[in-house]
Structure 1
Amino acid sequence: MAKSSRAGDRAIVLLLVRLGLRAGDVAQLRLDDIEWETGSLRVSGKSRYEVRLPLPQDVGDAIAAYLACRPSTCPSDHVFLRNIAPFRPFRKGDGISSVVKRLMQRAGIVAPVKGAHVLRHTAATEMLRHGVPLEKIGLVLRHRGIDTTAHYAKADVTLLKQIAQPWPEVL
């Protein structure tokens, strides 16, 4: 596998799992959307609702590594290009989901949902696990309602069992 392909795969997965981006958000990401000076990322997804998200160091490093070795034969301002000739931007999120499906299959990961969307759920669950309130998770995921966010952010039952207090005996 080519170096640019591995670097691109890593950057894509980190954007999905760390920021909870939709596959379409990643496919449409442009070079100008990355604000290196402020360490932020401009994302506009469904309904053209635009937000600025913090760009974690590991995600920024992965994007920079990919950009350093990305195919230069395509003069596109999209961040990610398909890694098979002709090198061109992903048109929709389907291509991004295909990347994730391939990586999950290669890693032997079996999940009820395959593709990029499962990583959006993972991002929400990880934020919840680290104590981020549902309202803030909803802002990052750009949800309109708390119910949707609650569906994404699954509680870690094993962790809850460790911190749950025993119910006092009722007489």
Structure 2
Amino acid sequence: MTTSLRAFLRYLAVAGRCQAGLDGAVPAYAHWQLADMPRYLSTEQVDRLIAACDGDVGGRRRDRAIVLLLVRLGLRAGDVAQLRLADIEWQTGSLRVCGKSRYEVRLPLPQDVGDAIAAYLECRPSTRRNDLLFLRTIAPCRPFRRGDGISSVVKRIMKRADIVAPVKGAHALRHTAATEMLRHGVPLDKIGLVLRHRGIDTTAHYAKADVALLKQVAQPWPEAL
């Protein structure tokens, strides 16, 4: 708003509607880096989100695998869209992920995530054109080309689960995964490895302290004598 106001005042000055330099009177807005709280789901909301994927039809099995990949491993929507069948290393129980800048890592495949993927593969439509893991449910069942499709799937699941959150989509689950790891005592550097962050500051933005938990241990403010 302040940026727009300054631009408007500069326009008025050029048009001769006000004196020049008036835009300098608009005060600066203090905004510190990493000051915002991450937008994540509570544990109860995550349980409801996963429960909304219950069912044996192919679409529900696919949705469950997608949600678990996002909320357990903190993958980006684009990472999920680009996952290939060859990226699942069943023997070692790991998942090969190639994210931004072609940065490739191997992440451990949790049991429930592996079970969900295996259940989806049992009813996954067959296609000869590529080996991308997740396909759309509407014929001709093409794969997701970008992360936008994965985010749309998550939004529909959140609506089905009647979850009201400040932000909807796959990125909210990435924040949730980071916050859950921090809540269970995982150090920030280890969380950064899972999320594939280059710097600890980025990880700190994703995984911040659980405010509800801090309220339980906060000491009352001493009264004035």
The two structures have a TM-score, normalised by structure 1, of 0.93
Q: Structure 1 stretch 75-84 or stretch 158-167: which is displaced more?
A: 158-167
Give a deviation string over 1:20-79, Cα, whole Å, max 9, x none: 000000000001100000000000100000000000000000000000011124553111
Match of 2:132 among 74, 78, 83: 78
Give how far 1:148 is off: 1.0
Specify the alignment match of 1:94 in structure 2.
Answer: 148
Q: CA deviation at 1:111?
A: 1.5
Secondary structure of 1:131 counterpart: coil
Whether the 8 Å CA contact 1:20–1:119 is kept in 2: the answer is yes
Which residue matches 1:46? 100
What corresponds to 1:153 in structure 2? 207
Query: Is contact 1:43-1:50 (8 Å) kept?
Result: yes
Where structure 2 has 5 or more consecutive residues not aligned to the other structure, the ranges are 1-54
| Aligned-residue identity in percent | 85
Number of residue pairs the alignment of both structures matches:
171
| Cα 1:31/1:16, change in 2 over 3 Å | same
C-alpha deviation, 1:165, in angstroms:
6.0
Deviates more, 1:143-152 or 1:37-46: 143-152
1:2 positional shift? 7.2
Residue 160 of structure 1, CA deviation? 2.1
| 1:103 alignment partner in structure 2 | 157
Counterpart pick for 2:86 among 32, 55, 66: 32
**Deviation larger for 157-166 or 33-42:** 157-166
Structure 1 stretch 59-68 or stretch 155-164: which is displaced more?
155-164
Contact 1:76–1:88 (Cα < 8 Å) also in 2 = no
| Counterpart among 108, 113, 121 of residue 67 in structure 1 | 121
Cα RMSD of the aligned pairs, angstroms, is 2.0
Matched residue, 2:187: 133
Equivalent position to 1:112, from 166, 169, 172: 166
The letter of the residue matching 2:131 is D
Partner of 2:35: none
In the alignment, the residues of structure 1 paired with residue 104 and residue 132 of structure 2 have an alpha-carbon distance, to the nearest angstrom, of 17
CA distance in 2, matches of 1:103, 1:97: 10
- Residue 158 of structure 1 and its aligned partner are, at CA, apart by 1.9
Partner SS state of residue 17, structure 1 = helix
**Whole-angstrom distance in 1 between the partners of 2:214 and 2:56:** 43
Q: Which residue identity lines up with residue 211 of structure 2 in the other structure?
A: V
Matched, 1:22 2:51: no
Is the Cα contact below 8 Å between 1:74 and 1:88 reproduced in 2? no
The separation in 1 between residues aligned to 2:135 and 2:148, in whole angstroms, is: 13
* SS of structure 1 residue aligned to 2:204: helix
Whole-Å separation in 2 of the counterparts to 1:35 and 1:168: 56
Contact 1:15 1:59 in 2 (8 A): yes
Larger CA Rg, structure 1 vs 2 = 2
